[in-house]
Amino acid sequence: MDEERKVLAKKYEKIKLITGITESIVSFVLLLLFVALGYSRKLELYAYSYSSNPYFALLIYIFILGVLSAVLSFPVDYFFGYRLEHKFGLSNLTFFKWITEGLKSAGVGIVLGVPILMLFFYMIMNYYLWWLWFGCVIVVYTILLVQLAPVLIFPLFYKFKPIENESLKRRILDLCDRIGFKVKGVFTFDMSKTTKKANAAFTGLGRTKRIILGDTLVSGFSEDEIETVFAHEVGHYKKGHIKKNIFISFFSTFAGLFILSKVYSLLLPKFGFTEVWDIGALPVLVLIASVFGFIMKPAGAYISRKFEYEADRFALDTTQNLPVFRSVMEKLAFQNLSDEEPNKLVEFWSYSHPSVKRRIAAAEKYYKEISV
């Protein structure tokens, strides 16, 4: 990127970072005050005034709290979700489409989340070891979701179709043959309907596993570059990152829920609650989980970056083309307006991908090793 674009990227990342931190702190403080000042208990009693059934009361409580949260967060979402992306020339969404996509996301979240919420409430009401049984549900649910998302959820937001470029398709299939990778299909999706950014991803498990390429990537990158991106995504599968992530998720889910349950029981009396299943006390779980997530975020980010480096090395092993790899990284940084060299602490704490400059440096070092 030229210097002007680098300055713009740093400004964009800085605004996103400050906004994200501020929003997280404000949300945490507001929820803490909501519980500490007794408003959560009042809302619980209000919900029970409409239904003595605890499950219906919980739904009423969550609905009201969700609406309040949406109203309060809308200005932030608008200015820093919609306006910011347009200001930096990254969004293709009209305001109406932005609202539509947001409502669609909320609808999917409700459909997927309410059954899990009801199961959680049932378990916390009926089992002392609720965290153990709920952990089992979360693990199974996550695996099912990973497997079914490419065929049931993603198509709700994007249109998927097989690659039409025969030359590119042949190159990708040849690469798959060389490395022994069986895939049902390689698909493009209309990423351009929402953004000018480019991306690709490995999704699914078993028969639903597939690599998806954004149409912004296919239209703006050369076949050599797309092949490198594809090889990187295959690297995640060949290096076992999907299975490793499931194992890590398995361990972290049970460990996290166990710690959550113990801290929750200790804090309940301090907020005036007596039972773990009190509806008004459930936001305390959210508060504890947010603190736990903040503390553990660097560990998750580190593992994710480690996997990205491994996938980069696999791409280099497969393509043997360092100049193209470098070109891909630079073009992605330019198109996605990524800060090539972010603050080291920020990268350590929250970046799921290494910065472009560090990825290129690591690739150059590795390429020298394999070329000897």
State residue 205's pLDDT score. 78
Specify the residue for token string 């042949």.
Answer: 170
Q: Give the pLDDT score at 146.
A: 85
* Cβ-proximal residues to 325 (8 Å cutoff; 6+ apart), any chain: 228, 312, 315, 316, 319, 360, 363
Name the pLDDT band for 14 (thresholds 50, 70, 90): very high
User: For position 3, what pLDDT does the model report?
Assistant: 85
What is the spatial distance between Cα 290 and Cα 59, in angstroms, rounded to a whole number?
22
Q: What pLDDT is recorded for position 246? A: 85
* Cα distance between residue 316 and residue 94, in whole Å: 39
Which helix (H) or strand (E) covers residue 194, if one does? none
* Position 207 pLDDT exceeds 70: yes
Tell me the pLDDT of the chain averaged across its residues.
Answer: 92
| Cβ pair 221, 198 in contact under 8 A | yes
Distance, in Å, from the CA atom of 74 to the CA atom of 76, rounded to the nearest integer, reads 5
* Burial class for 47, CB neighbours closer than 10 Å (0-12, 13-18, 19+): buried
Pairing of strands 200-203, 160-162: unpaired
Three-state DSSP at 76 gives helix
The pLDDT of residue 165? 86
Task: Give the pLDDT band of residue 180 (cuts 50, 70, 90).
Answer: confident
For 258-273, the pLDDT digits (tens) are 999 999 999 999 999 9
Label residue 202 exposed, middle or buried (CB < 10 Å: 0-12, 13-18, 19+). buried
Number of helices and strands (H, E) in the chain? 14, 4
Residue 241, CB-side half-sphere exposure with 13 Å CA sphere: 23
Whether the Cβ atoms of residue 152 and residue 177 lie closer than 8 Å to each other: no
Taking only the tens place, the pLDDT of each residue in 59-87 is 999 999 999 999 999 998 999 889 999 99
- Buried (b) or exposed (e) across 308-333, using 16+ Cβ within 10 A? bbbbbbbbbebbebbebbbbbbebbb
CA nearest 213: which of 149, 179, 165? 165
CB atoms within 10 A of CB 185: 13
> Token digits for 322?
């360092």
Residues 77, 40: Cα–Cα separation, whole Å: 24
E strand spans, the chain? 160-162, 186-189, 200-203, 210-214
For every residue of 134-189, DSSP letters joined together read: HHHHHHHHHHHHHHHIIIIIGGGTS-EEE---HHHHHHHHHHHHHHT---S-EEEE
Residue 222 scores a pLDDT above 90: yes
In the chain, domain spans: 1-372
pLDDT in tens, 98-149: 999 999 999 999 999 999 999 999 999 999 999 999 999 998 998 888 888 8
Q: Tokens 């400004």 — which residue?
A: 11
Arithmetic mean of pLDDT, 18-37: 94
Q: How many CB atoms lie under 10 A from the CB of residue 165?
A: 14
Query: How far is residue 334's CA from residue 225's CA, in Å, rounded to a whole number?
Result: 14
- Its pTM stands at 0.89
* Per-residue confidence band for 372, with pLDDT thresholds at 50, 70 and 90: low
Helix residue ranges per DSSP H, 268-321: 282-319
Percent of all residues in the chain with a pLDDT value above 70, rounded to a whole number: 99
Coil/strand/helix, residue 199 = coil
